[in-house]
Structure 1
């Protein structure tokens, strides 16, 4: 209960219960009879000294008994425990018995309240969001562990402190002080500047406030990727559309038909159309791989045959400008989706051809690696600087944008490779030295190998 000081247990009103009439009458007679007996003794013995001494003695004994019971009652109230309630007779017995029942009832209510607050605490700690309870002066009454992590708070150190004293970013202080909490605000914590929090305050009861924090870093990254994706697609489509539109305007403005010009422009428009078609095809493929939609049929794929096909495609794309070498030392069969494997491995091969200068060597290698098996494409091309390696599989990321367009790339090839390999539990490894060449490796787990 001490962990949640903003909660208080309100005592429930109890109906007053009076003792029955006979019990009240007997208690009254029990109090009056000794007094009547004392008066009779004094009257019987007259006003002799002995009578008054006897009366005083009896009064002293009665008073001492009452004081003793009061002392016992006071001692118990200082440390009340049901098992240590004093015992007594008569009225004192009734009082002690009532106190015993009341204390047991109070302890039972306390245990029930403690269990309820404990469940609340566990529930609040299990929330994925941070929760901070503020009082009417915006001082921290309680917070969960997520809030400690989000805001850099400490329950041991910061309870009772003003929240704006601990978090001093101006727009947060203004938000807390203006008391307009219909919308949330965004905040980068000082202790974790790469984290983005969404913060909103919800007033409750008369004076308390609930400050809720949510980590939206990943959501913001997704939003940025989405915006960049839309911008990149728009840019990639705008360029060929602009070219096609310009050619059409030129052809329409020709006063006299010129077959040579028309043929040349038609070929250029055809190339731009094919470029848009490749972009659309790659977008659809990537969307299908990322969303895991569509049918993913797996079969035993003849890798020996697929490797020969990839080598032939490399030679055809090269047009005799490169030396293409195929080294097949691995298993002949692999479990997977043939189209996805062809797309992934084919992208690696076509990239090597595009970025290797004339006269270079491209080696396709299929071999065992540990318990698994690895397909690698090694070229003697232009290579890639180290700062670009980690971002190569991002959509539309290009080391050299102009060169990528000149070679016919869409900027989606390696993103397709990554997702296709993930569907086969394979890992993509990229190693490159600028000016010397690159090696792209796809390593498949042993579960994918088919022994025939």
Structure 2
């Protein structure tokens, strides 16, 4: 294209120069021809006047029969014709009454001036230069000298100049070619730079610039192109940054995001959606949604894409509960979001040509947000269960208190022994209520991380010894044996809270171990940790109950008999242990007993944690 434009410019310039030079040559040749003819006519007229003057002055000395011969001696070329005409301008052979030639007539009319004319010879048809001069006195000329010469002599003189004119024309065309080439290069070089920059821009080089220093239209075009390239680079960099930000947001979202077009093809699936729905990583985009997604979700996306409806539902997948919100994707700013419409409006579709038109707006697809609400639903269930359990735990002692109080008011107070026994029961039930409320408040503080631990080095062996000694009277009546092994071990903790955990575990072991059973409390150091175990030989815990044993108000089947308890002790123990950076586990087999193991980081005597 560059060569074509340059060739066209040079050819146009040279052609214009050729036409101009040709026109100049034609004009110059015309002027030269006129000048040559005038000069040649002047020469011929001068010859005619010279002959006429000689014949006039020698009229008496030269006989008339010799005048013709004398005049012919003035012929300077063979084809020059000299004739002597009479006073009427006619030759000897011209019939009377024939009008004289025009130049002869003018010479007779003005004898003092010769006359000439360039015309065709009527006898030969040849173009000739004619001149006439009057002979004799001016008042009454006696004759006319008539001289003619071929005008071809002028053409011959002009032909001699044609090589010079041709050379000048060629030199002019060569100069025009050089000037045209320079001009064309000055025009096409900036265009070539613009073309190369545009090709680099097309290939993705956003730093393409054009350096054109001229102030003409091409210079302004180059500066405009550079400004456009800079603006395009900034725009694309902004879009890339936005795309990266959006991709990072979608990747880091805990909620799954799925987008489809109107044909049901997946346009976007983030990592959370892949994990929640079990989709192949990166392989879902472009596939049919019906092949990978659950049927209800596919139906919601199709309805949102075709009918522009917003919907929500819950999906169950294995042990997960997922909440799904679906909305249409609107094209551009046509969605109802531009005027306060429904949720999901204002999202831009990728294929406006494939949009479904609903009313005056266009829908290009649908987007769904999938949220894992398993824990939320579990929390709601636990809250309902907590309410029911608290109501149940409160109702039992309150019913007992109310019943014995009504009995006392009905007249039992007259019997002092009965009244005292009823009041003791009421006091015990009230203490049970206070214990339940204290446990609830304690558990609430621990779950909210609101409890403050007074940390200090604690000798776990001495703490076990104190706790066992305090609880031994409870085991005595049931013929229980409590054993503990003495192994020096120090942990960093709150002594009262650790005693609360130990008391709860040993108390539970005493409650659920039959007569002549054995309870063993042991402490050992192991790989930078201190392990406390409480093992009993009771009836054990059913496997179905083990995963829930540390939940609030949860009571295994073995505790739903005559044994009292709120079901909060193990939950409180777990939170206390975790607050100390430890962990608590349980192992049990029905009919063989249960073992609770508590693991704490070991600390030195100065309270620093020892790393394994």
Normalised TM-score (structure 1): 0.73
Q: SS in structure 2 opposite 1:364? A: strand
- Cα distance, 1:340 vs. partner? 0.5
> Is 1:81–2:200 an aligned residue pair?
yes
> Is 1:115–2:237 an aligned residue pair?
yes
Deviation readout 1:52-74 (Å, 9 max, x if unpaired):
9x99xx7xx889x99x969x97x
Q: 1:449 to 1:334 in 2, by over 3 A?
A: farther
The answer for the alignment partner of 2:590 in structure 1 is 434
Separation of aligned partners in 1, 2:551 and 2:14: 101
Contact 1:278 1:410 (8 Å CA) reproduced: no
The answer for the alignment partner of 2:471 in structure 1 is 314
Contact 1:363 1:377 (8 Å CA) reproduced: yes
Separation of aligned partners in 2, 1:261 and 1:180: 72
Separation of aligned partners in 2, 1:313 and 1:283: 24
Q: SS in structure 1 opposite 2:451? A: coil
The answer for the alignment partner of 2:494 in structure 1 is 337
Separation of aligned partners in 1, 2:550 and 2:210: 80
Alignment of 1:11-410 (within 5 A): 35=16, 38-42=19-23, 44-45=25-26, 76=195, 80-81=199-200, 95=218, 100-127=222-249, 128=253, 129-132=255-258, 140-151=266-277, 159=285, 167=293, 169-170=295-296, 173-174=299-300, 176-177=303-304, 179-181=308-310, 184-188=312-316, 194-201=320-327, 202-204=344-346, 207=363, 211-253=368-410, 257=414, 262-331=419-488, 333-400=490-557, 403-404=559-560, 406-410=562-566
The answer for the alignment partner of 1:20 in structure 2 is none
Deviation readout 1:412-449 (Å, 9 max, x if unpaired):
11111111111222221322221121221212212366
Separation of aligned partners in 1, 2:209 and 2:449: 71
List alignment gaps of at least 5 residues for structure 2: 1-11, 31-158, 328-343, 349-361
Contact 2:487 2:523 (8 Å CA) reproduced: yes
| Structure 1 residue corresponding to 2:570, chosen from 406, 414, 420 | 414
Normalised TM-score (structure 2): 0.56
Contact 2:324 2:370 (8 Å CA) reproduced: yes
Q: SS in structure 1 opposite 2:345? A: strand
Contact 1:81 1:103 (8 Å CA) reproduced: no
Q: SS in structure 1 opposite 2:477? A: coil
Q: 1:427 to 1:161 in 2, by over 3 A?
A: closer
CA RMSD of aligned residues (A): 4.6
Which structure's relative contact order is higher, taking Cα pairs within 8 Å and 6+ residues apart?
1
- Cα distance, 1:342 vs. partner? 0.7
Q: SS in structure 2 opposite 1:394? A: coil
Deviation readout 1:107-155 (Å, 9 max, x if unpaired):
3333222221222222223321444556677765445444444456679
Q: SS in structure 2 opposite 1:236? A: helix
- Cα distance, 1:103 vs. partner? 4.5
List alignment gaps of at least 5 residues for structure 1: 1-30
User: Which one is further off, 326-335 or 131-140?
Assistant: 131-140
Q: 1:40 to 1:369 in 2, by over 3 A?
A: closer
